[in-house]
């Protein structure tokens, strides 16, 4: 049986770019948009056109150059936003308007100071208005994570009737537990009349470190679009990280879900986004961190040198990293030292290795990491005879 496709909706250039200090100009956004298309994202959220003339221009220019991905612009459920977004997207081959409104009790009570019925009325009006410009309209129920499921189902039903083709169920505040978020998606699949006409989408924030887990729970329960960003950047603690969800689906064929992403471009794309946004990637970041394929403890190194599968669940080449690395520290063992010594040109006998290892530990105890130049020094200053 063929795998079900999960559409990857990239919002690096919209939710990701909202992060203080990450703002990009149009030229930078164009370079990243081209790269995201090459990476294989299905939908590229290019910006929030009403937010500034610069962002309008970015969405407009991106629409001109993107060949096959859907280009999407964000709006509030406000006519002016929608009109401006439609204008910004006018050159897109596949334009999508992403409109929506808050549906949780706190949004309705404190943000809009209105009623649930009025929110449904505004949602329906926004979708209908967006539909007068483009065929592909995505509706977001902001703070759906904290919205009562019965009411959320009513909102979804109403916007599907109005023509929404995708229903975004954001866990805007990153509050949900994976079980809860998965159950929410399941509930909507089972209780919204007309749901077969629309795709359910996960948009999870990472305030409790659960964005990726929640998105996967959503997909397992029937969502077929995941909204995410490169390196997981985004408001506050960030969004679901694209590289994580893509690699989870790839490494778990049992889920029977697949994406169109060329995973070999992940590492390089992560570096491009980090560099353009001036946002460093934490070294221990899953998939794309510099330590993601680095082994430093003796026990692990010994295993990996004997067989990679002992401690690696991903082939580094699959994400564009040429090989995993064996890092030498005071926690490393003889196997790692012999391995690295061989790489820089020394084939040590067992007796020589014992001698060099004692010397190595003296160096390693006072240095965080032993690099190639140190290995030469350690070997040259050890009490061994080297063959010339």
Residues near Zn ion (CB under 5 A): 15
Q: Which is nearer to ligand KIV, 172 or 352 (CB)?
A: 172
Q: What angle do CA 148, 178, 45 make, to 5 degrees?
A: 80
Q: Which does 76 bind (CB under 5 to 8 A by kind): Zn ion, ligand KIV, none?
A: none
d(CA 153, CA 155): 5
Which of these segments, 36-44, 155-163, 168-176, 241-249, binds ligand KIV (CB under 6 A)?
168-176
Alpha-carbon distances of 45 from 95, 96, 133, 168, 260, rounded to whole Å: 10, 9, 17, 13, 17
Task: For residue 141, count other CB atoms closer than 10 A to its CB.
Answer: 27
Q: Work out whether 285 is an interface residue with ligand KIV (CB under 6 A).
A: no
Which of 104, 172, 241, 332 forms a contact with ligand KIV (CB under 6 A)?
172
Q: Which does 139 bind (CB under 5 to 8 A by kind): ligand KIV, Zn ion, none?
A: none
Which of 47, 170, 238, 316 forms a contact with ligand KIV (CB under 6 A)?
170
Q: Which does 168 bind (CB under 5 to 8 A by kind): Zn ion, ligand KIV, none?
A: ligand KIV
Q: Which does 49 bind (CB under 5 to 8 A by kind): Zn ion, ligand KIV, none?
A: none
Q: Which does 45 bind (CB under 5 to 8 A by kind): ligand KIV, Zn ion, none?
A: none
Q: Work out whether 157 is an interface residue with ligand KIV (CB under 6 A).
A: no
Q: Which is nearer to ligand KIV, 77 or 338 (CB)?
A: 77
Query: b vs e for 94-108, b when ≥16 Cβ sit within 10 Å of the residue's Cβ?
Result: bbbbbbbbbbbeebb
Q: Which is nearer to Zn ion, 15 or 143 (CB)?
A: 15
Per the listing, tokens 């029937």 go with: 222
Q: Work out whether 238 is an interface residue with ligand KIV (CB under 6 A).
A: no
* Beta carbons of 32 and 17 less than 8 angstroms apart: no
Q: Which is nearer to ligand KIV, 55 or 142 (CB)?
A: 142
d(CA 14, CA 32): 12
SS3 139: strand
Q: Work out whether 45 is an interface residue with ligand KIV (CB under 6 A).
A: no
Q: Which does 214 bind (CB under 5 to 8 A by kind): ligand KIV, Zn ion, none?
A: none
Q: Minimum Å distance from CB 22 to ligand KIV?
A: 15
- DSSP string of 241-282, one letter each residue: BHHHHHHHHHH-GGG-EE----GGGHHHHHHHHHHHHT-PPP
Q: Work out whether 42 is an interface residue with ligand KIV (CB under 6 A).
A: no
d(CA 370, CA 361): 10
Counted residue by residue, the chain has a size of 388
Q: Which is nearer to Zn ion, 145 or 320 (CB)?
A: 145
Beta bridge partners of 205: 239
Residues 56-115 that bind ligand KIV (CB under 6 A): none
Residues 7-36 that bind ligand KIV (CB under 6 A): 15
The token pair at 294 is: 């680095």
* Beta carbons of 303 and 310 less than 8 angstroms apart: yes
The token pair at 305 is: 């040198």
Q: Which is nearer to ligand KIV, 14 or 300 (CB)?
A: 14
Q: Which is nearer to ligand KIV, 35 or 205 (CB)?
A: 205
- DSSP string of 139-183, one letter each residue: EEEETGGGS-HHHHHHHHHHHHHHT-SEEEEEETTS---HHHHHH
Which of 203, 276, 285, 295 forms a contact with ligand KIV (CB under 6 A)?
203
Beta bridge partners of 204: 171
Q: Minimum Å distance from CB 48 to ligand KIV?
A: 8
d(CA 388, CA 257): 57
Rounded to a whole number, what is the distance in angstroms from the first to the last CA of the chain? 61
Which of these segments, 150-158, 167-175, 245-253, 343-351, binds ligand KIV (CB under 6 A)?
167-175
Q: Which is nearer to ligand KIV, 235 or 315 (CB)?
A: 235
Which of these segments, 28-36, 164-172, 315-323, 341-349, binds ligand KIV (CB under 6 A)?
164-172
Residues that bind ligand KIV (CB under 6 A): 15, 140, 142, 168, 170, 172, 203, 205
């Amino acid at each position: 049986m063929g795998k079900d496709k999960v559409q990857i909706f990239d919002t690096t250039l919209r939710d990701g770019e909202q992060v203080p200090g990450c703002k990009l100009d149009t030229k930078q956004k164009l370079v990243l948009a081209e790269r995201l298309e090459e990476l294989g994202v299905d939908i590229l959220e290019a910006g929030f056109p009403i937010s500034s003339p610069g962002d309008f221009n970015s969405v407009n220019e991106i629409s001109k150059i993107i060949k096959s991905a859907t280009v999407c612009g964000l709006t509030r459920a406000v006519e002016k936003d929608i009109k401006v977004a439609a204008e910004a997207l006018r050159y897109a081959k596949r334009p999508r308007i992403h409109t929506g409104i808050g549906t949780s009790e706190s949004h309705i009570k404190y943000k809009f100071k209105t009623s649930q019925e009025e929110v449904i009325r505004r949602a329906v009006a926004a979708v209908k208005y967006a539909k007068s410009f483009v065929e592909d309209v995505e509706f977001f129920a902001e703070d759906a994570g904290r919205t009562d499921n019965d009411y959320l189902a009513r909102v979804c039903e109403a916007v599907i009737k109005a023509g929404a083709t995708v229903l975004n169920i954001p866990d805007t505040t990153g509050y949900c537990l994976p079980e809860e978020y998965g159950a929410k998606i399941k509930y909507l699949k089972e209780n919204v009349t007309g749901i077969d006409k629309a795709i359910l989408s996960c948009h999870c924030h990472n305030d409790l470190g659960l964005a990726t887990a929640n998105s996967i729970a959503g997909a397992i329960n029937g969502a077929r679009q995941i909204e995410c960003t490169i390196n997981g950047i985004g408001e506050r603690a960030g969004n679901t990280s694209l590289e994580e969800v893509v690699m989870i689906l790839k490494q778990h064929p049992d889920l029977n879900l697949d994406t169109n992403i060329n995973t070999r471009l992940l590492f390089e794309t992560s570096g491009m986004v980090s560099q353009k946004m001036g946002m460093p990637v934490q070294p221990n970041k899953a998939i794309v961190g510099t330590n993601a394929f680095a082994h430093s403890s003796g026990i692990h190194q010994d295993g990996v040198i004997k067989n990679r599968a002992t401690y690696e669940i991903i082939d580094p080449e699959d994400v564009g990293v040429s090989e995993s690395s064996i890092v030498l520290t005071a926690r490393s063992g003889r196997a790692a030292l012999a391995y690295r010594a061989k790489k820089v040109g020394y084939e040590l006998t067992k007796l020589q290795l014992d001698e060099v290892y004692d010397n190595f530990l003296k160096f390693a105890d006072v240095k965080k990491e032993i690099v190639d130049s140190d290995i030469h020094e350690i070997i040259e200053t050890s009490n061994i005879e080297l063959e010339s």
